[in-house]
């Protein structure tokens, strides 16, 4: 499926959201908790976690362990929830630094493997199903430093939605961690969006195939990143519409 840029539609919807601001604390808290569950569920599901959205809600809100699932899946849900809290704290900062990325991965992964959480990989990795081979581990620290140093210039040259998509793409292309790269990239993408006044964007698990395809396409042919940017813009637009629907319902109540 081909995607077109939805940035004009996103900015139009964002103008409507801005009219409702500032939101009262109760509405803000309800929105935050809604996206904690939805974002955690969807991001983990894309990576193969079999917890349902309802099961994710029970784990995060009630603290109840769900039977029939590996402990790792529960740890992934709890870790993503912690990273989500950090995401909101970082969103009040005007900049994104290399340490922010390390911290997001640390919070995300420390319940799964504390020794690897927030640390760059020390082994070569191969991604199944694609011709793309990530850089060697020896190159990762320098690539990540350059990646972080280039963020201000990248931000100045692109619309916030394009900027967020490119941060995501560039991070997973470096593939700096032994695991959790996709989830960290989606957190980083949302950090850029929230800092620019946009809303939390979810990539639905039903769009996983298109998501993976668009990533592979951009990694194999770097000049073809527009397809991935357009795909992300579609997700931002759909998430923005969903946000507006929930917001209007909360305000009416």
For residue 1, tell me if it sits in a domain: no
Exposed/middle/buried for residue 226 (C-beta within 10 Å: 0-12, 13-18, 19+): middle
Tens-place pLDDT, residues 158-209? 999 999 999 999 999 999 999 999 999 999 999 999 999 999 999 999 999 9
For residue 170, tell me if it sits in a domain: yes
What distance in Å separates the CA atoms of residue 253 and residue 125, rounded to the nearest whole number?
A: 50
Tens-place pLDDT, residues 144-169? 999 999 999 999 999 999 999 999 99
Q: What pLDDT, on the 0 to 100 scale, is given for residue 67?
A: 83
Domain of 196, CATH number, reads 1.10.3290.10
Residue 168 annotated to the active site? no
Number of domains in the chain: 1
**Helix segments in 136-225, DSSP class H:** 140-149, 151-157, 160-174, 181-195, 208-220
**Which of these ranges, 106-115, 143-152, 158-167, 244-253, has the smallest mean pLDDT?**
244-253
Whether pLDDT at 94 is above 90: yes
For residue 37, tell me if it sits in a domain: yes
Q: What pLDDT, on the 0 to 100 scale, is given for residue 242?
A: 96
Whether pLDDT at 106 is above 70: yes
For residue 2, tell me if it sits in a domain: no
Tens-place pLDDT, residues 15-69? 999 999 999 999 999 999 999 999 999 999 999 999 999 999 999 998 888 888 9
Q: What pLDDT, on the 0 to 100 scale, is given for residue 253?
A: 65
For residue 186, tell me if it sits in a domain: yes
Is the CB of residue 207 less than 8 Å from the CB of residue 137? no
Structural tokens at position 154:
């990248």
- Domain extent, residue 185, equals 7-252
For residue 97, tell me if it sits in a domain: yes
Given 80, 105, 168, 175, the catalytic residue: 175
């Amino acid at each position: 499926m081909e995607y077109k840029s939805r940035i004009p539609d996103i900015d139009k919807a964002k103008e409507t959201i801005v009219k409702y601001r500032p939101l009262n604390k109760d509405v803000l808290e309800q929105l935050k908790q809604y996206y904690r569950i939805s974002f955690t569920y969807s991001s983990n599901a894309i990576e193969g976690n079999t917890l349902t959205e309802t099961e994710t809600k029970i784990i995060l809100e009630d603290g109840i362990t769900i039977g029939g699932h590996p402990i790792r899946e529960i740890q992934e849900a709890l870790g993503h929830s912690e990273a989500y809290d950090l995401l909101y704290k970082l969103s009040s900062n005007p900049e994104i630094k290399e340490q922010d990325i390390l911290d997001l991965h640390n919070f995300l992964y420390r319940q799964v493997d504390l020794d690897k959480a927030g640390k760059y990989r020390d082994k070569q990795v191969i991604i199944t199903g694609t011709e793309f081979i990530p850089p060697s581990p020896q190159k990762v620290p320098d690539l990540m430093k350059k990646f972080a140093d280039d963020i201000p210039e990248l931000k100045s040259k692109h619309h916030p939605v394009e900027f967020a998509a490119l941060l995501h793409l560039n991070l997973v292309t470096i593939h700096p961690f032994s695991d959790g790269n996709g989830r960290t990239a989606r957190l980083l993408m949302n950090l850029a969006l929230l800092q620019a006044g946009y809303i939390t964007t979810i990539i639905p698990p039903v769009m996983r195939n298109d998501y993976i395809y668009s990533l592979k396409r951009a990694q194999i042919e770097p000049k073809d990143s527009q397809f991935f940017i357009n795909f992300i813009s579609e997700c931002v637009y759909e998430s923005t519409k969903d946000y507006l629907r929930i917001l209007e319902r909360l305000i009416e109540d």
